[in-house]
Structure 1
Amino acid sequence: MTETRSGRGWLVNRLAATGLGVRLIGIMLALFLTSVTLGVMGYVELRALGDSARSVGDVSVSRLFAINDMENALSDHEIAAERSVLEDDPFERQDLHDAQRMASSAFGQALLRLKTFGLSSEEKRIVAEIQRDWDGYLDKFRLADRFADDGRFEEAKEHFEIGAEQMAAALTAKITDITTLTRADTAVALDRQDTIVEQSLRLIVVTLAAAGGLALGAAIWVLRRLSLPLIALNEALRRLLAGDDTVRLPDFGTERNELSTLSHSAHALRDSIVETRRLAAEMKTQRALLSETVENMPAGLCMFDETGKLLVANAMFWSFFGMPKELTSGQGSVMLDRLLTQVGCRMTAARPGGGAAFASRMKALIAQGGSDSASWELDDGRHVLLQVQPVPGGWMMIASDISDRVDQEEQALHMARHDTLTGLPNRRAFADSIDYAIATADPNRPAAILFVDLDRFKHVNDTLGHAAGDKLLRHVSERLQGAVREGDTVARFGGDEFAVIQIGQQQPDSALGLGDRIIDLLSQPFRIDGRLADIGASVGIALAPEHGDRAETIMSRADIALYAAKSAGRGQCLLFDTDMLDRQNALIKLEADLKRAIELDQFSMLFQPLVNLDTGRITGAEALLRWRHPTRGLVPPAEFVPMAEELGLIVPLGALVLRMACTEAAAWPDRLNVAVNLSPVQFRRHDIVGDVVAALKSSGLPPARLVLEITEGVLLEDTDDVKDKLITLKGMGVRISLDDFGTGYSSLRYLRIFSFDKVKIDASFVQEIDSDLGGAAVVRAVCMLCGSMGIDVVAEGIETREQLLQVMEAGCNEAQGYLLGRPLAREEFLEIEGRSAAGVFPGLGVEESPDLPSAMRSAQAG
């Protein structure tokens, strides 16, 4: 015991005998170590805090943006895909495909960005499933789209709904999962930041307290030698701790080693504090950026903890539902009830039950830890997508304004079911209306389906132009809607085809009466751009369910009745019967026979002479196609030519006529020409120049002996393509004749825009020339005009001697008609041509057969 006390006293004595540096070395060393520790630990902790904050800002937010881009791209692609499988307009489908490619590219880029972030094994698994489901969704859609490309829209819709939409739903679920994990990671990172801040502050406070105690002790030990330097140092440190990072610490020089050491420690402390504050400022900036991001999200967001306390709610959420921020008052479930009730009160679809019922349902969902995503309509007409999902330690609600998307979907649905020109329901909507009418029809009052087809509409379209035709169709739709009763349906299928559903009436008398009224209404003239347009209508009627219990069957029956009405002379209203079906089947067989006839070359050629009125000689013939059916015999052109145009067979058929006519004419004497009629469809939609070149080359016929006859319908569109074709043909040496002159809207204008070789006056003027002074004046005027322009005039439809004398007197150069010669086989034509070349023309009739020069002299003498 004595030895211990004696040893302790020795240590005290030794310390008292040492210098200032030895006495303070322990204190200074402790202060230095404390300062260094503070700087290092503060730097490490705050660096970790900064890294964490940057991770939240750079990674979590970026991941959320990437996920949001995926959601938007999937939504855009799904909308465009759903429209494209239902769209029959190729141009519209192309636009939709472009939109799909853009959405697919955006989805792929967003998914690629997501993969670049550090993902957990669970997140990698979900991302892989998203990639797999996205590929599957695209495969399902492409399958549906191929059906749509083939025109099989119902199958396309079915495959899209069964396949692509299910895959899209799975994709949405996976995206929701990865969003939940990302937000959970963000919440954990924010919690870690708070912990680091608290630890750093505690470390600073403890270390500063220790440093202050040591400094005070050192001041007591050496009041004089250290007081002023330490007071200066203390003042500098006070300013530093007060926030003045620009303060300069005192420099004690090199002689005072102990104070120099203290000075170095103080400088280290200063640097540590400055760095700590810098990192804290960065963290504050990152937190402000995150808060600003949440506040400026395009969606409303609120988040509650598990006790019902509101953690986050941005301004968009409050404005969405028109709620004052005073709702944040109250704690726990009280505030939660008030908020959910207010949300429910704004949703029209949440009624009946009101906001309280909605709040109860949501609270039950939250209590079960479930999630929900549904579209709601607010009481101000907006549509909102409300998503409720659990998060670690609570749950969140996201509200997105989808009003524009809903409007686009409704507009797309309307466009898919309505005619854009008239606003009437289209064929698809009409078929649905038929199904509904069948399902709800009174057995004693069946529904009547009327198909309406306009007569002479093509003539109006060709003569007045397509713009006038569109206006006419709108006027027709207005008259049809005025003809039906409330509850009936009027639709337009396209072109000049309309349809009506009549319900709740005694049939068939009511439908027949309506059909007659429609015909009367549409037979009254229409005024289009200051001009009168006369059309008519034919109506076909079928009754449901008498004539069928499905829309497809009923529409087919009504179409058959319509065809029968048109075949009966137009302007007719007929009710379907089984005999019509037999006739329709016969027409279908005729279509098949026509296609086979082109393949088997069942066509022959007749030639109607063209006579020069100056010499009386035949100058050529117009080639007329005839179809010799193996069982039906000779089929008139009026039956198969319109059918060929409708089926798209007029192009190969027209090329066949050119080859046959040129081949026949090549064997004639060189003085004879051959004239071939060209269909407007054939001329506008095909390489007619190529067909002409091929026919001339294969036959060896000189181009100057070929006359191509076109109608004014070819020139109606007045396009550069039509002019270029005419100029090319004329440059080859082929002669061009304008057929049916005088029946069009701008006949004289056509003579100005192109130099024709011949003009054929329409037979309607010739047939009235001996009884109508106006008709004779028109013929004379045309002859004078064309004569001044160097254009030959041909009068067609000559059937009487008086007509022949009249056209000769008017100044026509050539004539054609039954009086001069009916369409003849090649041998008969060549025989008559030989006799006319010898000066005798036997074609002026059986009873009176003067030669043509004598007739001409008689006309001149008269």
Structure 2
Amino acid sequence: MTGTVFSRSLRARLVGATLSTAAIALAALVFLVVLRSEQTLREQAQEVTTWSETQLSDRLLSDAKLAAARLAMQREDVERRFATMAKRWDVVKAVFSGNTVAASELMRPALALADVDGAIAFDVNLRALTADRVDADLLAANAAFGTTAVATALRAVIAGNDREHANGFVLTLRWDEGLAKALAAEESGAVADVFGQPLFDEFGDVIGGLVGYRVLRPHEPTLTAFASLSGRDVLILSGQSLLSSAGADVADARLGDISGADLHAVVGAEKVARCLPQPPDLRLCVAAPLRELQQLTGKVVGIGEESSRSLLRTLSVVAGLTLCLVALVLLILSSRITRPLVRITQTVSEVARGNWHVSVPDIDRADEVGDIARAVVVLEHSLSERDQLRDDVFRQNTILTERERQLQEQNERFDAALNNMSQGLCMFGAHGRLKVFNAQFCRIYNIAPDALEAEPTHADVRQLAGLADWSGPESRPHRRSLTRTLADERCVEITVEPMADGGWVETHEDVTASVTAQARIAHLATHDALTGLSNRALLADRLAAALAGHAHDGRAVTVICLDLDDFKGINDTLGHPAGDELLRQVGRRLTMLCPPGGTVARLGGDEFAVVLSEADLPAGVLALADEVLTQLRRPFILAGQFVSVDASLGLAVSAADDADGDDLLRRADVALYAAKADGGRRVRVFEPEMEERQNQRRWLERELRLAIGTDQIALHYQPLFDLATNAVTSFEALARWHHPERGMISPGEFIPVAEATGLIDALGAYVLQKACADAMGWPGKQRVAVNISPIQFREGNIDRFVEEVLRTTRLPSQRLELEITESVILSQDQASFDMLTRLRRLGVRFSMDDFGTGYSSLSSLNTFRFDKIKLDQSFVRNLLEKDEAAAIVHVVAELGRSLKITTTAEGVETPEQLARLRASGFSEVQGYLLSRPIPAADVPDFINTQNALNAAA
């Protein structure tokens, strides 16, 4: 081992230095030869590459022109087929019929045959009439079409065409969101060909235009066929974005910088391309594999590379032989010089490893090697003596270090346990002086640790901790626990544990959080978490106590139940945090108004209750209730806004035999319900009749639910007559309920109950299903009108349900007329408006019921397109007695004629009313004068009779 190290330090250095010098010289020579060879090869490759790029660029340019010509021929072919489709009379007739379903069913096959993605038709005023899809958004197309270049081109085509010389247009445009919306398209892409053709009626007049579009395909069939035949790749790019490709799959293709021969490198693929500009701002590029360019260059350059490699091989062999010869000479010389030193080095290495009895060679020599050998012998003896002394000292130090480590570890464990206790700890000796304390004890009482270092007495410690009122342990301490409250309201629990030597240990624990939590739990058990008022449990206790006093000394007890009107509207408009703040402010105002001895509680939601005793009944309580309404009407500040609210109040006064607080609270709640039923914003005192009415309402709700499920609800149909022809145009479906026990129950009685309890959804679904099924059995094509309650729109699926009913009953959508009130429109609910729009697209007709009774009917007509407006019967009833009613009737008739909307007057009961309505220009009438509601089974006979009378007339 020593010989090897020494060899590396002397012999290896000598051999290495000489060999390195020779190697560097030979390497420099080889490098100069290689450098010159590479320079020559680069010059040859550059000249060959320039010639090859020029040849390939010319061939790719020819291919690009041919591909562009094929793409143009494809566009001309699509334009010709689209023009042929626009001249078809059945297409023109379907477009201008207004039937979007028929138009789309006719246009879709023709568009597929013409290889066009979609089409939209416009009239001469460039208003969208129909599209190839039934669900196309024509309103959005109207709004967006005028801003596009297509509108200008179509206007020119419509203005300058005649049937004999019909000309269209072709535009290649960027496909963006505005163009897609203007053409009512769903396709996505970057570029599209837009085709326009005029539409002519049977007399040869231009009546509109048809616009089709074809979005550029990611793989155009024409270019794919070209790529297959030519073996080239065809790319269409916008900037660096790849729009379409043909041939090999080149994903995310980007073009590099242009070369001198107008060639682009295709980044990410071993190809080059030549490009032609195409409108609008596009490039059509034809790409070829880079190997075509490299093949010729490789042949020429390969000859020079082979010559260079032969020269390098020869130089390498000569250099290797030279280095081997030099190394052999150096090894022979170094072995003669370094061998004696190697033996001495090995001996020194053994001594360094602790072997002091090794034999040292060459100690008898008289030269420098002998001196080194003798010095090694002296070193052996010195090291042996030193190591013996060191071993003795090391053993002693090891013993001391281990004892010190054990003591330090024990102290650290004790300190860690003491200072990491959750309780404060202090230990007192038999003489009452502090011996041990931890950091938690100082933190609990905010005592500086330095103040306890001098072993103070127990009295001094109490003084520092603020526990001077605590007497502390007696002469013989005993086990005990106690709790003390500090000056800062914190609670500390102190536990004393005596020790055998007469001393004791105290643990101190801050239990403020636990005490506070227990008090909080006790408070939450009897109070409302949001307002801090009493909850229902505490209210029951207070009410029971008040009734006990009532039984003892006759003091009357009054319960007031209060409910905020339209609290949900505040949550919906301002948010639930504002609603919570309103409840807190209402609670504070009620607390201020409540007399001493009374209790204000929140029962849940926006409902409150007040329990009063010893009040001046009944005048004092009624005055208090009126004052509550007045104070609640004062504005509240919520979310930075002034908000006014109203409330409904119900009062109940205890009777002589009352012993149950729940019964008194229930009576107050019944009075509250009566106040809300009367319109809210008022006070009602409980009367026995209120409970009877509530029971009657519950009975009616229960029986109505049963009636809907057992088909007790029958439909009668009241006809509507056309004033111009006296023919029956439609029938209004009216629900009639014949109860098995009570007989006929008026719709005015059970419809409000259905709306209030949510049964209106089931009732409305039943009426709609049965009315559509009945209409399918009528001999004529009369429409059936069904009333839709605004509450039915809350579910959000009325449009899907109507569509399902039409599908199952097979009733044409044009024969269904839905009567709605303007409250559906005035709600400004986008979801309701969307449902109405989808139903109108199905072909369902809409009638505005009770027209004239709302405060914004004209605004409703402007918001949504109705097919009919029905004048409320109150105007017809006063038509002959009041000039104002007559004027309104005349205005409504004129409004209908101007808007081209059917006008219907309901409630016609006298011939004079009918004559006046006919003179005013109303379209339809309905009323008992002409016909009462007819049972469903009699409608077919009625229709046949009316048809016979009209034929005879």
> TM-score w.r.t. structure 1 length?
0.51
Aligned-residue offset at 1:726: 3.1
Equivalent position to 1:651, from 761, 767, 772: 761
Matched, 1:334 2:459: yes
Which residue number corresponds to residue 705 of structure 1?
815
Q: Deviations over 1:739-786 (max 9, x none)?
A: 445666776665565544444455566666777777777777777777
Equivalent position to 1:261, from 368, 382, 388: 388
After superposition, where does 1:151-550 map in structure 2 within 5 Å? Answer: 254-255=381-382, 257-269=384-396, 301-304=424-427, 318=442, 320-321=444-445, 326=451, 331=456, 333-335=458-460, 337-338=462-463, 342=466, 356=469, 369=479, 380=488, 386=493, 388=495, 394-399=505-510, 402=513, 406=517, 409=520, 413=524, 417=528, 430-441=539-550, 443-452=553-562, 485=595, 487-489=597-599, 499-511=609-621, 537=648, 540-544=650-654, 546=656, 548-550=658-660
Matched, 1:601 2:711: yes
Alpha-carbon distance between aligned partners in 2 of 1:805 and 1:535, rounded to the nearest angstrom: 47
Change (3 A) 1:424 1:727: farther
Aligned residues: 565
Alpha-carbon distance between aligned partners in 2 of 1:766 and 1:773, rounded to the nearest angstrom: 12
Alpha-carbon distance between aligned partners in 2 of 1:404 and 1:808, rounded to the nearest angstrom: 85
Alpha-carbon distance between aligned partners in 1 of 2:571 and 2:904, rounded to the nearest angstrom: 23
Aligned-residue offset at 1:794: 4.4
Q: Deviations over 1:222-262 (max 9, x none)?
A: xxxxxxxxxxxxxxxxxxxxxxxxxxxxx996347455311
Higher strand residue share: 2
Q: Deviations over 1:779-825 (max 9, x none)?
A: 77777777666654545555667776776677654444555554443
Q: Deviations over 1:301-327 (max 9, x none)?
A: 344468676577666655655566647
Equivalent position to 1:637, from 715, 731, 747: 747
8 Å contact from structure 1 (residues 799, 817) kept in 2: yes
Change (3 A) 1:416 1:504: closer
Alpha-carbon distance between aligned partners in 2 of 1:458 and 1:394, rounded to the nearest angstrom: 62
Change (3 A) 1:511 1:338: same
Higher helix residue share: 1
Equivalent position to 1:678, from 788, 803, 808: 788
8 Å contact from structure 1 (residues 371, 390) kept in 2: no
Change (3 A) 1:596 1:338: same
Alpha-carbon distance between aligned partners in 1 of 2:878 and 2:534, rounded to the nearest angstrom: 45
Matched, 1:725 2:830: no
SS in 1 for 2:785: strand
8 Å contact from structure 1 (residues 769, 776) kept in 2: yes
Q: Deviations over 1:41-61 (max 9, x none)?
A: xxxxxxxxxxxxxxxxxxxxx
Aligned-residue offset at 1:474: 9.5
Alpha-carbon distance between aligned partners in 2 of 1:834 and 1:477, rounded to the nearest angstrom: 68
Change (3 A) 1:292 1:448: same
Aligned-residue offset at 1:554: 0.9
Aligned-residue offset at 1:430: 4.6
SS in 2 for 1:556: helix
Change (3 A) 1:602 1:544: same
Q: Deviations over 1:389-433 (max 9, x none)?
A: 86998342221553997499579939962666xx87665665454
Alpha-carbon distance between aligned partners in 2 of 1:801 and 1:328, rounded to the nearest angstrom: 115
Select the structure of larger CA radius of gyration. 2
Alpha-carbon distance between aligned partners in 2 of 1:671 and 1:333, rounded to the nearest angstrom: 107
Of the structure 1 ranges 818-827 and 766-775, higher mean CA displacement relative to structure 2 is found in 766-775
Change (3 A) 1:695 1:774: same
Instruction: Please tell me the residue identity of whatever aligns with 1:396.
Output: T
Change (3 A) 1:724 1:631: same
Alpha-carbon distance between aligned partners in 2 of 1:524 and 1:259, rounded to the nearest angstrom: 103
Matched, 1:665 2:788: no
Identity %: 34
SS in 2 for 1:708: strand
Q: Deviations over 1:326-373 (max 9, x none)?
A: 478664543564467x25xxxxxxxxxxx626x66xx69x9664567x
SS in 2 for 1:402: helix
SS in 1 for 2:469: helix
Change (3 A) 1:666 1:337: same
Alpha-carbon distance between aligned partners in 1 of 2:525 and 2:719, rounded to the nearest angstrom: 57
8 Å contact from structure 2 (residues 780, 943) kept in 1: no
Aligned-residue offset at 1:612: 3.7
Aligned-residue offset at 1:478: 8.9
Alpha-carbon distance between aligned partners in 2 of 1:313 and 1:650, rounded to the nearest angstrom: 77
Change (3 A) 1:260 1:408: same
8 Å contact from structure 2 (residues 494, 506) kept in 1: no
Alpha-carbon distance between aligned partners in 2 of 1:403 and 1:745, rounded to the nearest angstrom: 61
Instruction: Please tell me the residue identity of whatever aligns with 1:261.
Output: Q
8 Å contact from structure 2 (residues 527, 533) kept in 1: no
Gaps of 5+ in 2: 1-377
8 Å contact from structure 2 (residues 718, 734) kept in 1: yes
8 Å contact from structure 1 (residues 447, 544) kept in 2: yes
Matched, 1:626 2:736: yes
Gaps of 5+ in 1: 1-250, 344-354, 842-850, 852-862
Alpha-carbon distance between aligned partners in 1 of 2:915 and 2:637, rounded to the nearest angstrom: 39
8 Å contact from structure 2 (residues 825, 864) kept in 1: no
Alpha-carbon distance between aligned partners in 2 of 1:471 and 1:258, rounded to the nearest angstrom: 93
8 Å contact from structure 1 (residues 609, 821) kept in 2: yes
Alpha-carbon distance between aligned partners in 1 of 2:445 and 2:897, rounded to the nearest angstrom: 82
SS in 2 for 1:435: helix
8 Å contact from structure 1 (residues 327, 335) kept in 2: no
Which residue number corresponds to residue 371 of structure 2?
none
Q: Deviations over 1:520-578 (max 9, x none)?
A: 999999999999999785x5432235463233211222233455667789888665455
Of the structure 1 ranges 573-582 and 548-557, higher mean CA displacement relative to structure 2 is found in 573-582
Instruction: Please tell me the residue identity of whatever aligns with 1:402.
Output: A
Aligned-residue offset at 1:504: 1.4
Matched, 1:553 2:663: yes
SS in 2 for 1:601: coil
SS in 2 for 1:502: strand
8 Å contact from structure 2 (residues 713, 737) kept in 1: yes
Bigger relative contact order (CA 8 A; separation at least 6): 1
Alpha-carbon distance between aligned partners in 2 of 1:712 and 1:618, rounded to the nearest angstrom: 26
Change (3 A) 1:330 1:303: closer
8 Å contact from structure 1 (residues 658, 691) kept in 2: no
Alpha-carbon distance between aligned partners in 2 of 1:378 and 1:783, rounded to the nearest angstrom: 87
8 Å contact from structure 2 (residues 717, 732) kept in 1: yes
Q: Indicate the RMSD between aligned Cα atoms, in angstroms.
A: 5.7
Alpha-carbon distance between aligned partners in 2 of 1:252 and 1:807, rounded to the nearest angstrom: 140
Instruction: Please tell me the residue identity of whatever aligns with 2:553.
Output: P
Change (3 A) 1:387 1:807: farther
SS in 2 for 1:417: coil
After superposition, where does 1:28-177 map in structure 2 within 5 Å? Answer: none
Change (3 A) 1:694 1:274: same
